Chain A
Amino acid sequence: QSVLTQPPSASGTPGQRVTVSCSGSSSNIGTNTVNWYQQLPGTAPKLLIYSNNQRPSGVSDRFSGSKSGTSASLAISGLQSEDEADYYCAAWDDSLNGVVFGGGTKLTVL
């Protein structure tokens, strides 16, 4: 049981916009920033979004993040087949004194 809650799966067709939600509590998302990671099949995770809505250099602007209260969302616009991956949200938890992850969302491009 992960501290942050994500839907286990999401899907969309090429060109669509999809969103992935991440729900937490006052000790993690409610107080600290949210980061998102993309894990392509068989590879290590990669930083996708940091500090709620910032994109690292090299990450497509099709990816965007937002946060409100104790929830956060990742949006992917203009869906492409190469976006098929697992997506994880993460945040620091002040009560646990550690990093907490969501359980991950498997995105399928139909």
Chain B
Amino acid sequence: EVQVLESGGGLVQPGGSLRLSCAASGFAFSTYAMNWVRQAPGKGLEWVSGISGSSGNTYYTDSVRGRFTISRDSSKNTLYLQMNSLRVEDTAVYYCAKSHYYDVSAYVDYWGQGTLVTVSS
């Protein structure tokens, strides 16, 4: 059974940093692209970043490029999102999401339950 489980969310001050983790199981982790998708309170879904399987190419939405870094450790079956220079508008539930293929352009077929990140002073 495919499972992805996020952790690392919490309260952080503006300008601070946080690292999210996503533990994956039930599939060949290194083969598939992985993503982070966020949802601000009461708002819609926003794709944040993706990393391809095998090649490890990374992709970001404009609002986080240069501040967030996505990475993966296939020896630990874990996906990460390092978030620096956090802003109030980064407050959201962050979902870890598995793509159906090695390419980030493939559709997301499994989602985690999400972890809440709150940026506030």
Contacts from A to B (Cβ < 8 Å)? 2, 32-33, 35, 37, 39, 44-47, 50-51, 56, 86, 88, 90, 92, 96-104
Chain B residues 63-121 with CB under 8 Å of chain A are 95, 100, 104-105, 107-114
A51-B107, A92-B105 are known contacts. Are A100 and B44 too (CB-CB below 8 A)?
no
* From B62, B95, B108, residue with most partner A Cβ within 10 Å: B108
Q: Across the two chains, which residue of chain A brings its CB closest to B109?
A: A47
* From B46, B105, B112, residue with most partner A Cβ within 10 Å: B105
With a cutoff of 8 Å between Cβ atoms, the chain A residues found around residue B60 in the complex are 98
A44-B114, A45-B111 are known contacts. Are A97 and B59 too (CB-CB below 8 A)?
yes
Distance A25 CA – B114 CA, assembled complex (angstroms): 30
Pair B111/A46 contact, Cβ less than 8 Å: yes
Distance A77 CA – B44 CA, assembled complex (angstroms): 24
Distance A104 CA – B59 CA, assembled complex (angstroms): 23
Q: Is B45 an interface residue (CB 8 A)?
A: yes
Number of residues of chain B lying within 8 A (CB) of chain A: 23
With a cutoff of 8 Å between Cβ atoms, the chain B residues found around residue A100 in the complex are 47
With a cutoff of 8 Å between Cβ atoms, the chain A residues found around residue B44 in the complex are 2, 86, 88, 101-104
Q: What distance in Å separates the Cβ of B53 from its nearest Cβ neighbour in chain A?
A: 16
A44-B113, A50-B100 are known contacts. Are A101 and B45 too (CB-CB below 8 A)?
yes
Distance A68 CA – B37 CA, assembled complex (angstroms): 27
Q: What distance in Å separates the Cβ of A4 from its nearest Cβ neighbour in chain B?
A: 10
Distance A22 CA – B60 CA, assembled complex (angstroms): 23
